[in-house]
A and B are shown apart, each in its own frame.
Chain A
């Protein structure tokens, strides 16, 4: 089986139908955008964390991604939470209202990140593109995903080959001008190879009768466990909505 988009290990408790999971995550992201009260957002973030873990995403990966996201958000804290961040406004005063707004942004972003990790960690890119086809999404989008799944790996290998070839001849990235020029040549080389690769792949596709449609062998079927999954997500979504609407 091909690898998941992110490496989730193999500890999933839940294995819902990929189409159902894509739909559920999409609906939940809309729900997250509509939530206004921190109580509802905390509950949604917790539910997203439980879902990501149940889908087998390891703590280590969740922690790494959350650190990156929250590090980025922390840079915005002074701009969003203080009344005025201008040097002339010193000493800066923290606004309770704006801090609450910042907290809701952080909670919402983290919950969406957890949902995205759950989705990406539970299926490989091929499964996702097949599921998108199953959901009748625009074929071009599904084909793009299907081809990207394979060909981004080839481009990554080509980049490593180019970089290794340069390194073997003494290339090291330093603060001098010359290595940056070399890096530019390498990136240019990769771009040309990518264009060449794209042409060759199109030729290979035409040679096997491609006329704008990609068919797949995989077929998805709903099982009883999928119904349980839907029920759990519906109940969780309703509780979160209730918490949000009664939050005052």
Chain B
């Protein structure tokens, strides 16, 4: 089976003196559910950004969905197939209403209107936020914003979801809703989080970022 992502010898740093990654190797297969741990500032968010082309490595090879990705244009397909959940929901929810935000991705996938409407309805129901449909994201509670942000990428039916601190600031009931949604999804997961209980519930393997390299970890 062809891996979804294959990163080889990735080197990246915001400045040349302090590289964040010193030759990272990572392979993510279609059925993988991987926890990504590491201390604050170890580069978990940067790694997720790098995988969808929001930052570019100084050297190394990034293969996603079977193709070598280098230029901005190469990443358009990657972003449609790999859903990234930002750690700040306000960055993810930029439209004036929840339904427009959830519909944004599916429309860009070129789906017909009826399919987009069904995807919006089903995803919001699945995450118990159907009542928020017509509201502005500004009117939502923190937990609702987090679930709606997850809905924006779930609605696109991605092959893999890259989740950055998905449970930050969530209460138990919202975490349970999120866990149920992630346990029932068939796509691969790469979850960057400090919440070990949550990671144990939704992932099956663990890697850790340590001093610019990926090492095997445990939960």
Contacts and interface: CB of A to CB of B under 8 A. Distances in A.
A206 B88 contact: no
B76 A209 contact: yes
Contacts of A206: 54, 79
Given A200-B88, A203-B54, A217-B103, A210 B96 contact: no
Given A2-B134, A215-B107, A209 B79 contact: yes
A242 B219 CA distance: 81
B94 A217 contact: no
29 contacts: A1-B135, A2-B96, A124-B136, A126-B95, A126-B136, A149-B96, A150-B93, A150-B94, A150-B95, A150-B137, A150-B138, A151-B94, A154-B90, A201-B91, A201-B94, A203-B91, A204-B94, A208-B104, A208-B105, A209-B79, A209-B108, A209-B109, A210-B104, A210-B108, A211-B108, A214-B95, A216-B100, A217-B99, A217-B113
Given A200-B91, A208-B104, A208-B153, 10 more contacts: A3-B136, A149-B96, A153-B136, A154-B138, A197-B90, A200-B86, A204-B86, A208-B79, A216-B103, A217-B116
Contact of A197 (B76, B91, B93, B134): B91
A197 to B, nearest CB: 7
Contacts of A149: 96, 136
Interface in B8-24: none
A4 B95 CA distance: 15
A75 interface: no
B108 A208 contact: yes
A147 interface: yes
A1 B117 CA distance: 17
Name the 5 nearest CB pairs between A and B, nearest first: A209-B108, A126-B96, A215-B107, A208-B105, A2-B136
Contacts of A1: 134-135
A218 B86 CA distance: 26
- Which of A147, A197, A207, A217 has the most CB atoms of chain B within a 10 A radius of its CB? A207
Contacts, number: 100
B84 interface: yes
A23 to B, nearest CB: 21
B152 interface: yes
Interface in B108-126: 108-109, 113, 116-117, 120
A205 interface: yes
A145 B154 CA distance: 26
Interface of A: 1-3, 124-126, 129, 146-147, 149-151, 153-154, 157, 197, 200-201, 203-211, 213-218
B8 to A, nearest CB: 23
- Which of A154, A206, A211 has the most CB atoms of chain B within a 10 A radius of its CB? A206
Contacts of B152: 208
Main secondary structure of the interface of A (DSSP, over half): helix
A190 B136 CA distance: 23
- Which of A2, A3, A214 has the most CB atoms of chain B within a 10 A radius of its CB? A2
A3 B135 CA distance: 9
A154 B91 CA distance: 10
Nearest to A145: B96
A5 B88 CA distance: 26
A162 B139 CA distance: 20
A206 B104 CA distance: 11
Contacts of A2: 96-97, 134-136, 139
B80 interface: yes
Contacts of A154: 90, 138
Contacts of B49: 203
B79 A129 contact: no
Contacts of A218: 100
